[in-house]
Amino acid sequence: MAPYIFKILRFNPKADPMPYFQEYNVELEPSDSVLEGILKIQDEIDPSLAFRYSCRGAVCGSCAVVINGKFNLACRSLVKNVKTEEIVLEPLPNLEIVKDLIVDLQPFWKAYEKIRPYLIPKVIPEKENLVSPKEERAIDNFINCILCACCYGSCPVVTRDEKYLGPAALAKLFRFAGDIRDKGHTDVLDEIDIESGTWGCDTVFKCVDACPKKVRPTDGIEALRRKTVLRKSKRLIGVK
Ligand code: SF4
Ligand code: F3S
């Protein structure tokens, strides 16, 4: 066991005038995760500390936070890998704080809902509809998204434009629009052919840096742009 200092942003909008940092000293094994540290603080020191988690295995995305300035999942960040004396924890930016490390994800889910995140098949197949490895590779990276919202929290366009759909929703749209079995999500592509959709991204790659699952949302957005331009060009010259 070794001593660790956790400095956690606390804020209850119903009771506190301003957010503030609270320090906790906690003994942990170096191989423990940041999430285990938070759970220990809640169990043994301060039951009022609020945070969200579920799977503890980097699959559900619920425990996304900012750890010493970097976006990550608390469950997959080991305390021994945080290379400073203090482990500073803050909630995801760009989303309202509900309490402490819990943010209101409604804007993130509303953007996700807009892209209709499901396969719209070209034909209803009579048997298994196989995809070749090459076709799968084109969308594979975007399938890995676990909807943790780290990218949404990191994006400067979301900060200045609350209508912007954000990196996760747009990358997930390409996961379906680029799927050979899908109709191409053409209605959605037309609906979001606007500044707060396909064209909002400033290509600053913050979302790529923030993603704990190595998804590259910027690449998905660029692919959507190419698809949209191609569709418009074909329409102009009367090709279906
Ligand atoms: Fe999280 Fe990455 Fe998906 Fe964004 S793209 S929601 S950071 S897994
Ligand atoms: Fe935002 Fe990613 Fe574009 S951070 S501006 S969506 S490159």
What CATH number did the domain enclosing 115 receive? 1.10.1060.10
Longest dimension (CA), the chain: 70
Ligand 2 centre to CA of 210 (Å) is 10
Task: Give me the mean pLDDT over the 25-39 stretch.
Answer: 97
Are the beta carbons of 203 and 218 closer than 8 angstroms?
Answer: yes
Residue 184 token pair: 């191409």
List 8's β-bridge partners, or say none: 22, 89
Task: Give me the mean pLDDT over the 26-35 stretch.
Answer: 96
Q: 132 and 224 share a domain?
A: yes
Q: 27 and 38 share a domain?
A: yes
Q: 6 and 87 share a domain?
A: yes
Residues 6+ apart with CB under 8 A from 85: 5
Q: 122 and 227 share a domain?
A: yes
Ligand 2 centre to CA of 95 (Å) is 16
Gap between the Cα atoms of 213 and 19, Å rounded: 30
Q: 35 and 146 share a domain?
A: no
Are the beta carbons of 61 and 148 closer than 8 angstroms?
Answer: yes
Q: 70 and 140 share a domain?
A: no
pLDDT tens-place string over residues 54-70: 999 999 999 999 999 99
Ligand 1 atom 2 nearest Cα = 211
Last residue of a domain, one of 46, 69, 103: 103
pLDDT tens-place string over residues 145-160: 999 999 999 999 999 9
Q: 128 and 46 share a domain?
A: no
Are the beta carbons of 143 and 110 closer than 8 angstroms?
Answer: no
Query: What range does the domain containing 39 cover?
Result: 2-103
Task: Give me the mean pLDDT over the 196-211 stretch.
Answer: 98
pTM above 0.85, yes or no: yes
Does ligand 1 lie within 6 Å of residue 177's CB atom? no
Classify residue 33 by its DSSP letter: B
Instruction: Place 84 in a pLDDT band, splitting at 50, 70 and 90.
Output: confident
Query: Beta-carbon neighbour count of residue 238 at 10 Å?
Result: 6
Q: 130 and 224 share a domain?
A: yes
Last residue of a domain, one of 45, 78, 103: 103
Any residues with Cβ below 6 Å from ligand 2, and which? 154-155, 157, 167, 201-207, 217-218
Q: 125 and 200 share a domain?
A: yes
* pLDDT at residue 120 is higher than 80: yes
Last residue of a domain, one of 55, 81, 103: 103
* pLDDT at residue 125 is higher than 90: no
Residue 158 pLDDT:
98
Q: Provide the number of structural domains found in the chain.
A: 2
Ligand 2 centre to CA of 188 (Å) is 20
Instruction: Place 218 in a pLDDT band, splitting at 50, 70 and 90.
Output: very high
DSSP structure string for 58-96: SSS-TTEEEETTEEEEGGG-BGGG--SSEEEEE--TTS-
pLDDT tens-place string over residues 162-183: 999 999 999 999 999 999 999 9
Does ligand 1 lie within 6 Å of residue 147's CB atom? yes
Residue the block writes with tokens 């469950």: 75
Q: 220 and 110 share a domain?
A: yes
Residue 124 token pair: 């209803």
Are the beta carbons of 95 and 71 closer than 8 angstroms?
Answer: no
Q: 96 and 110 share a domain?
A: no
Gap between the Cα atoms of 238 and 234, Å rounded: 6
Task: Give me the mean pLDDT over the 80-88 stretch.
Answer: 89
Q: 40 and 18 share a domain?
A: yes
